[in-house]
Structure 1
């Protein structure tokens, strides 16, 4: 039997991403965001949803760009900090010991120490209520060479952080369960 929880923001997994922007003064900033995901294959697009009062909201509106730095499990304390400190009065890059890198493709910085980087230019803005969704066309994905296997990003090496909104805890990635679009073939004839 299922238990109804009502309308809630529960979708698992939810990412833990560091959204990079430059503010009006050109200062690099990062904020932790969990409301986001891939939303289109062609062109490749990714969304992040932010509240209007957030420092990063105005930066994205002005610069029409953002990056997503995917932190590793070992960076969970810094990732959490970037979600509770405001970039208005804090240099979160310095506080976390992170290095801001200016993207060559979009007007936003990314975190050099994160294993996976996604650079996006804003192509749509959707006001949804409490949050505004920024649809970003992915201009490039950068991966640490050491986090690659067979020319592709290896999730077991990257070790992205998963956020569970309902219990407000961070989790690590689980085991490899099998090859997508393949392991289900055994049921195809059933």
Structure 2
């Protein structure tokens, strides 16, 4: 029997992302966010939700762009740090010994040291309550050569991205391979036929 735990943000896991923006003075900033995901295939889009109080919120509105830097599990300490301090009070790139690279496609920076980066042009803003959802059209994905897999795309095991457990406020890494999409499910019908 299932037990009710209430109306809470417990759809787990969520991604751990670094949202890159420029402030009004052109200073690069990053913040950690976990309320996000892919939201459309055509055009390719992702959504990330931020509280209005964050320093990045106004920057996304003003510049109409943002990046998502996807950190590896080895970057957990820096990723947590940039989610606990504000860009109003210092330079988080410098604090983490990370390099801010200006995108040549959108008006936002990304973290050079992370294995995977998604560059987005702002399409929509949706006020949801405490958070506002920013929907960005993906204009490019950049990956370190070391994480490119056999088919020419990023290999999740090489990227080694972090995921967030909303219930216990903890970081985890991606686990074992379970099967190929649109293939593993075929075993259900095969087993029923037997």
TM range (shorter): over 0.9
For 1:96 and 1:34, how far apart are their aligned partners in 2? Answer: 19
1:153 is matched with which residue? Answer: 154
In structure 2, what is the Cα distance between the partners aligned to 1:186 and 1:73? 32
Report what 1:72 is aligned to: 72
How many Å separate the matches in 2 of 1:161 and 1:90?
Answer: 25
Counterpart in 1 of 2:90?
90
Summarize deviations over 1:27-55 as a string: whole Å, max 9, x none.
00000000000000000000010000100
CA distance in 2, matches of 1:139, 1:55: 24
Q: For the aligned residues, what is the CA RMSD?
A: 0.8
Unaligned runs of 5+ in 1: none
Structure-2-length-normalised TM-score: 0.96
Where do residues 101-112 of structure 1 align in structure 2 (5 Å cutoff)?
A: 101-112=101-112
- Structure 2: 5+ residue runs without aligned partners? none
Aligned residue pair count: 190
User: 1:159: how far off?
Assistant: 0.6
- The 8 Å contact of residues 13 and 166 in structure 2, kept in 1 or not, is answered as no
Aligned structure 1 segments of 4 or more residues deviating by more than 4 angstroms: none
Using structure 1 for the length normalisation, give the TM-score.
0.98
CA offsets, 1:88-112, max 9 Å, x none? 0110000001000000110000000
Q: Which residue of 1 aligns with 2:21?
A: 21
- Kindly state the Cα deviation for residue 188 of structure 1 after the two structures are TM-superposed: 3.2
**SS class of match (1:84):** coil
Distance 2:3 2:78 in 1: 35
Instruction: Name 1:166's counterpart in structure 2.
Output: 167
